[in-house]
Amino acid sequence: MPTQWKRSPEELHKTYVANTEAFYRVAGRDLAAQMDEFCVTCATQLFARSASLGQEHVDAVNALYSKGRTSPGWLLWGLSTAVGKSGEFLPPLFFWDMTEKDARQGTDSSRVFIRMLTNILLCLAAVDDDVTYAEAEYITECGDKLAALCDGAGVKKGKPGLRAADFVTSAEPSFLEKNPPKAGTANGPAQGNVQARAAGETAPEKPDLDGLLAELDGLVGLEKVKKDVKSMMNLVKVRKLRQDAGLPVPPLSLHMVFLGNPGTGKTTVARLLSGLYAAIGALSKGQLVEVDRSGLVAGYVGQTAIKTQEVITSALGGVLFIDEAYSLASGGENDFGREAIETLLKAMEDHREDLVVIVAGYTGPMQRFLDSNPGLESRFNKRIFFEDYNGEELNAIFHLQCKKNGYELDDEAEAYAGEFFAAMYENRDENFGNGRDVRNQFEDMVVRQANRVAAMESPSKEDLVRFVKADFLGDT
């Protein structure tokens, strides 16, 4: 039965460009190369589930290029090889950044991306005028994994996307079921690298070590944290040198516990640490996957292990950062959080060479979390404590926000800022948000300044960028 999703290569290219241009308006055109590579990888994985593989599939994958970029030059033999070696779906690195931005700004661009990808994949599945059950299952899997990351980051809900299963037209076995790979052909480099070379592209470069270290050093405060991170780096580097020299090396766990109040830079340091480990070869990719309980625990028996495993898979080669991890052990013996812990412990053992898990939260609850399972205490034997920012550091964070966003303070506001943030620190309570409170204060001041300037008849450029004392207090 023919499908409504079939497109000619020219039409498919127009559909792809229309969707990616919308994405670039939100995320930036510098992601074009990553987006194209990601969609080509999805295409090879999708075509492995197609009923057949022919020239129409070659033409389709050659249509996957963004405006201003060169069309790929796939041939049938090369595509067949890539399809035969295709692996499982993994969310692209840029998608984590999208979810974090959405969570901060209250937007849902990452949810829109999922709906966009579903449309593109349905068009690709239909190039042979059929959509198989296996193709629909793959498209659904992609959407579910991306949605789990959105949920874990706290991105607001968006309108639901299309259900791929509603567009199935064929129950024919997939290409790989008809053409199983020969024994031994799956050996060799990681699947992602095989696909990249099949497309004539190089594997991703390692992160810039010097740049990441400079970013770490540029963080406000956190001097003890910076020292601990650099000590871990030195330990890993010397350990690798001993391995290369044929010397014995003691067991080393890179898993860590981050202790401290919210807003003290724990997520930022985890992101830098993931890149630093990748830069020195301790991790293969260096991405950060951030989740909390909602990103790991499902509401039905047996589903938590699946949900947790999907998150772990997306974090392989990088760092899995679990915020407020103590909530996994707070629900009693029958709580599904314990299933997540057991799944996590198994993954830490199975992937100990290419996965770092960092659990974070308040000091007291985190100790109870580590005591909840004998395997946790032994695996998380490195702890880093993040102290609250003092008044001077809060003031420095505020000035960085101003500089980043093009604002300045007049003399009176400059003098008052020191007093304001010193008082914020001295009067802090158990709900103190550290850097988050500074960010909230900055955003409130932007609103107050805008209300004040909007009332001026002819504001100057200086008026547009200047904060005054009243913007701190709300006296407009």
Q: Name the pLDDT band for 321 (thresholds 50, 70, 90).
A: very high
Q: Which two tokens stand for residue 168?
A: 């199935």
**DSSP class per residue in 33-57:** HHHHHHHHHHHHHHHTTSS---HHH
Residues in contact with 204: Cβ distance below 8 Å, sequence separation at least 6, in sequence order: 285
Q: Is 2 inside a domain boundary?
A: no
**CA-to-CA distance for 410 and 233, rounded, in angstroms?**
42
Q: Is 282 helix (H, G, I), strand (E, B) or coil?
A: coil
Asked if residue 431 and residue 358 are part of one domain, the reply reads no
Residue 392 has pLDDT above 90, yes or no: yes
Look at the chain and report how many structural domains it folds into: 3
Asked if residue 374 and residue 449 are part of one domain, the reply reads no
Specify the residue for token string 């076995």. 173
Q: Name the pLDDT band for 202 (thresholds 50, 70, 90).
A: very low
Asked if residue 179 and residue 328 are part of one domain, the reply reads no
Q: What's the helix, strand, coil split of the chain in %, to 5?
A: 60, 5, 35
Of 198, 233, 268, the last residue of a domain is 198
Of 369, 386, 403, the last residue of a domain is 386
- Distance of alpha carbon 362 from its chain centroid, rounded? 23
Looking at residue 319, what is its pLDDT? 92
Asked if residue 277 and residue 311 are part of one domain, the reply reads yes
Dihedral angle at the C-alpha atoms of 364, 367, 373, 377, nearest 10 degrees? 170
Contact indicator for 368, 329 with CB cutoff of 8 Å: yes
Could you read off the pLDDT of 83-135 as tens digits, one per residue? 888 778 888 888 888 888 889 999 888 988 998 899 899 999 888 888 888 88
Contact indicator for 319, 127 with CB cutoff of 8 Å: no
Looking at residue 258, what is its pLDDT? 93
Instruction: Please report, rounded to a whole number, the percentage of residues in the chain having pLDDT higher than 90.
Output: 23
Most confident of 207-211, 265-269, 279-283, 378-382: 265-269
Looking at residue 199, what is its pLDDT? 38
Contact indicator for 62, 9 with CB cutoff of 8 Å: yes
Q: Name the pLDDT band for 346 (thresholds 50, 70, 90).
A: confident
Q: Is 233 inside a domain boundary?
A: yes
Q: Is 61 inside a domain boundary?
A: yes
**CA-to-CA distance for 50 and 42, rounded, in angstroms?**
13
Q: What is the pTM of this model?
A: 0.56
280 secondary structure, DSSP code = T
Most confident of 244-258, 366-380, 441-455: 441-455
289 φ, ψ (degrees, to nearest 5): -115, 115
Q: What is the average pLDDT across 369-375?
A: 83
Could you read off the pLDDT of 253-312 as tens digits, one per residue? 889 999 988 888 899 999 999 999 988 888 888 888 888 888 888 776 667 887 888 888
Q: Is 204 inside a domain boundary?
A: no
How many Cβ atoms sit within 10 Å of the Cβ of residue 83?
25
Residue 198 has pLDDT above 50, yes or no: no
* Residue 73 host element (H or E): none
Of 330, 363, 386, the last residue of a domain is 386
Looking at residue 423, what is its pLDDT? 92
Asked if residue 146 and residue 79 are part of one domain, the reply reads yes
Asked if residue 353 and residue 291 are part of one domain, the reply reads yes
**CA-to-CA distance for 126 and 164, rounded, in angstroms?**
11
Q: Are strands 288-291 and 466-467 parallel, antiparallel or unpaired?
A: unpaired
Q: What is the average pLDDT across 166-176?
A: 63
Q: Is 2 helix (H, G, I), strand (E, B) or coil?
A: coil
Asked if residue 183 and residue 66 are part of one domain, the reply reads yes
User: Which residues are bridge partners to 290 per DSSP?
Assistant: 321
What CATH number corresponds to the domain at position 410?
1.10.8.60
Contact indicator for 153, 267 with CB cutoff of 8 Å: no
Mean predicted lDDT score pLDDT of the chain: 83
Q: Name the pLDDT band for 181 (thresholds 50, 70, 90).
A: very low
**CA-to-CA distance for 393 and 168, rounded, in angstroms?**
58
Question: Residue 80 burial by CB count (10 A; 0-12/13-18/19+): exposed, middle or buried?
Answer: buried
Closest by CA position to 16, among listed 90, 116, 160, 111? 116
Q: For residue 424, what are the domain limits?
A: 391-473
